[in-house]
Structure 1
């Protein structure tokens, strides 16, 4: 019995040590765990698949071409991150801050001061990711892919989404006001109750796009594609 108890104790100790070592994983000076503080680090090209980084401080971090497939980035602070070409397929970014953007009091006035600590997410892959409640105002997301990605209550005001691919994406109550969406692919995307006011959709593809309850005052759009997209009352 004593030997059995000793074996059990050793097994539990081994499990605890393994768990501790997993929690203490450090990559390029960045401790990979939730609520970590890891700003201004260089994680260029690192394998961070499935990393648990929710509620972490990750602003000004270099994530170029990093593999973040399936990562948990809920409510992470990613202001001014450079994630060009990063793989975020299936990642959970609910509530994450991908910017720190202060819009002018009068959007039509260039004289108003605009502060934008805009992240770089060009060519990033967000396919199948959860981006509900994400703050992406002013973010640079040219050529990013959001195929079958879920957005609910997300903010893309003044974001640059030229040539981005939203094929099959679901955008519920998402604010795309004043966004640049030149040649964006919205094939089969569902925009439910979303705002497109003053967005520029020049050259956009909207084959099979659903616009249930969405509004778009002064939206620049392809001729005949978004007819009937009215203004909010």
Structure 2
């Protein structure tokens, strides 16, 4: 499979699947912007991508399990059905990112910016969303069982049919959130469902 990242001079740099994670890590270490990268289906499991610029990147169905994406810029990135189990996304910028159907179980999303992100049908079981900004995020049918969401900002978020059973919502801002048919069984500090 051929993967494409764009160099500083805007010319595409084609990468082969072998050693892809090493090539991407090297580019990040060199301070190279990887925005607009075409990495659909890439295996970046456990990669060190802290502070990477992956804005607008195409990462559909990519394997980023256990990857370190702390403070990474993933604005408007397409992470549809990506595997992000136990990934570190602390303070990552994910505004308007497409995470539809992504697996974020056990992921660290503390203080991540997910404003207007599409998380429909995503798996966030056991994820840490402490202080995360999810204003106006789409969370329909999202599985948030056992998630730590204390202090999260969910103002205007759409949580139709979301499963928040056992989630910790202490201090979470749910003003204007749509909780229609949301499952709140055993959720700590949960509001009444709409």
Aligned to 1:156: 134
The answer as to 2:169 corresponding to 1:184 is no
Aligned to 2:10: none
Aligned to 1:25: 22
Deviations for 1:74-100, whole angstroms, at most 9, x for unmatched residues? Answer: 00000110000000000000000001x
Deviations for 1:91-149, whole angstroms, at most 9, x for unmatched residues? Answer: 000000001xxxxxxxxxxxxxxxxxx11110001100100010001111100110001
| Long gaps (5+) in structure 2 | 1-18
Residues 192 and 210 of structure 1 are in contact (CA less than 8 Å); yes or no, is this contact kept in structure 2? Answer: yes
Residues 143 and 162 of structure 1 are in contact (CA less than 8 Å); yes or no, is this contact kept in structure 2? Answer: yes
User: In structure 2, what is the Cα distance between the partners aligned to 1:52 and 1:96?
Assistant: 14
Aligned to 2:69: 73
Q: Name which one, 1 or 2, has greater alpha-carbon Rg.
A: 1
The answer as to 2:94 corresponding to 1:98 is yes
Structure 1 residues 90 and 24, CA gap change in structure 2 (3 angstroms)? closer
Aligned to 1:104: none
Aligned to 1:126: 104
| Displacement after TM superposition at 1:32 (Å) | 5.3
Residues 124 and 141 of structure 1 are in contact (CA less than 8 Å); yes or no, is this contact kept in structure 2? Answer: yes
The answer as to 2:115 corresponding to 1:137 is yes
The answer as to 2:38 corresponding to 1:42 is yes
Residues 70 and 92 of structure 2 are in contact (CA less than 8 Å); yes or no, is this contact kept in structure 1? Answer: yes
User: In structure 2, what is the Cα distance between the partners aligned to 1:42 and 1:88?
Assistant: 17
User: In structure 2, what is the Cα distance between the partners aligned to 1:94 and 1:88?
Assistant: 13
| Long gaps (5+) in structure 1 | 1-21, 100-117, 223-233
TM, length-normalised to structure 1: 0.71
| Displacement after TM superposition at 1:26 (Å) | 2.3
TM, length-normalised to structure 2: 0.85
User: In structure 2, what is the Cα distance between the partners aligned to 1:33 and 1:128?
Assistant: 25
Aligned to 2:12: none
Aligned residues between the structures: 175
State the SS of the aligned residue for 1:71.
coil
User: In structure 2, what is the Cα distance between the partners aligned to 1:177 and 1:23?
Assistant: 39
Runs ≥4 residues deviating over 3 A: 30-36
Counterparts of 1:45-56 in structure 2, within 5 Å, are: 45-56=41-52
User: In structure 1, what is the Cα distance between the partners aligned to 2:21 and 2:63?
Assistant: 19
| Displacement after TM superposition at 1:153 (Å) | 1.1
User: In structure 2, what is the Cα distance between the partners aligned to 1:174 and 1:127?
Assistant: 17
User: In structure 2, what is the Cα distance between the partners aligned to 1:132 and 1:33?
Assistant: 22
